[in-house]
Structure 1
Amino acid sequence: MERKLIEEINLLESKKLIINLNIVAIVIVLVLTVLGLAFSGGFEIANGFEGVIWLCLGYLLSLVIHEGVHGIFFKAFHPEGKVKFGFKNGMAYATSPGSFYTKSQFFIISIAPFIVLTGLFIFLRFLGVNEAVIYLIFALHTSGCVGDFYYCILLLNRPTGILVEDTEKGINFYSEG
């Protein structure tokens, strides 16, 4: 069967898209922080500067885990595909260039890091890790998922039966037939 290109999404090089996603990310982190402050009665990062260091290290670790989860799901759905990791335009990314996925597979690939890390943050909170540090890392991580959420929205608005090609710049949508 021949694949017909429907649309190309260039997430890494479209300045307008990057600006819009960054605006949404800023709104997400601000809203989540305000909600966290409102419902917790205020945050206190234990141990001052040391707590801030833990916050920064935790956030960097969450980025690595986030991209690793994408990589795991890329491989799970397309074992012969090569997975590459990188950082461009202020965004960390995982990609499996030239690999094709069904709509549902790519939705799972896109949303999995948010679900896995949110579960991890909840688990760490129950272990007694500082609430402020965990919540602020959660807020930062959630805002960093904005590109993944964008892909999920795009996928929800596409017909069943499409194929998604992962590229080094974004994704392409194809119809078969």
Structure 2
Amino acid sequence: MTAPSPPAGYRPPERFRYSSAFLALASLVAFVVSVVGFGALLWFLQGTPEGGSVSFGFAGVVAVFLVCLATLVVHEAIHGLVFRWLGYRVSFGFAPHVPALYTAAFGQFVTRRDNLLTGVAPLVVITAVAVPLLAAPLPVASVAYLVLLVNTSGAVGDVYMSWRLWRLPPETLFYDVDIEHSYAFEPANDTAIGAE
């Protein structure tokens, strides 16, 4: 797939790619850090648990799966709501080669600012809602803890993209042809300070 012609005043596009191996490793690191960090906060807020062992049968496994799936769906829905609020047409889907759910504004030029806002929104919103719930009664706090683990490790691609975007000129435009073909258009009369 090819990118469209550059808008007036922009350089030819450059392919915008993610390193799958790096993101997988970073996601694992984020998960471990989240387990420890949010776990310590949960322990601080809830105190030492009383009683014996916790039984975790088939119903518990199903509940964990549903919470994880719901977290991923809400994460993508937040991306979509921000894109729509900013005036873009939104596509949702599943990329089996990653594997991951995705939200995109295919076939449209998206500003750097709008991509940054859309990218960080789920991490900010879900964290802001779930962290205070760690102080709620333990069943609610346990769900909030799981939501934080899934959302934080799942937001690694968003954080990586935001870091890359931040290093480009503010006027940079992005264009997603499909889930595997993304392009960046930098302004012709500007230089990317600190860009790669």
For normalisation by structure 2, the TM-score amounts to: 0.74
Give the Cα separation in 2 of the matches to 1:37 and 1:110: 25
Residue of structure 2 equivalent to 1:8: 15
Could you tell me how far 1:120 is from its partner in structure 2? 2.9
Residue of structure 2 equivalent to 1:147: 157
Which structure's relative contact order is higher, taking Cα pairs within 8 Å and 6+ residues apart? 1
Q: Which amino acid aligns with 2:149?
A: A
Structure of greater Rg: 2
Residue of structure 2 equivalent to 1:33: 35
Give the Cα separation in 2 of the matches to 1:69 and 1:5: 31
- Alpha-carbon contact 1:46-1:130 (below 8 Å) kept: no
- Alpha-carbon contact 1:77-1:101 (below 8 Å) kept: no
Please list the CA deviations of residues 127-150 of structure 1 after superposition, one character each: whole Å capped at 9, or x if unmatched.
Answer: 534323321221121111111011
Residue of structure 1 equivalent to 2:66: 57
Q: Does 2:25 align with 1:23?
A: yes
Q: Does 2:56 align with 1:48?
A: yes
Give the Cα separation in 2 of the matches to 1:43 and 1:140: 23
For normalisation by structure 1, the TM-score amounts to: 0.81
Give the Cα separation in 2 of the matches to 1:58 and 1:8: 35
- Alpha-carbon contact 1:36-1:42 (below 8 Å) kept: no
Could you tell me how far 1:56 is from its partner in structure 2? 2.0
Instruction: State the identity %.
Output: 25
Q: Out of 81, 87, 94, which is 2:95 matched to?
A: 87
Q: For structure 1, list consecutive stretches of 5 or more residues without a partner in the other structure.
A: 12-16
SS for the counterpart of 1:130 is helix
Q: Which amino acid aligns with 1:135?
A: Y
Moved more, 128-137 or 57-66: 128-137
Q: Which amino acid aligns with 1:62?
A: T
Residue of structure 2 equivalent to 1:14: none
Give the number of equivalent residue pairs. Answer: 171
Greater fraction strand: 1
Coordinate RMSD, CA, aligned: 2.6
Please list the CA deviations of residues 95-127 of structure 1 after superposition, one character each: whole Å capped at 9, or x if unmatched.
Answer: 111211221111001111111211232354455
Give the Cα separation in 1 of the matches to 2:181 and 2:156: 14
Residue of structure 2 equivalent to 1:175: 186
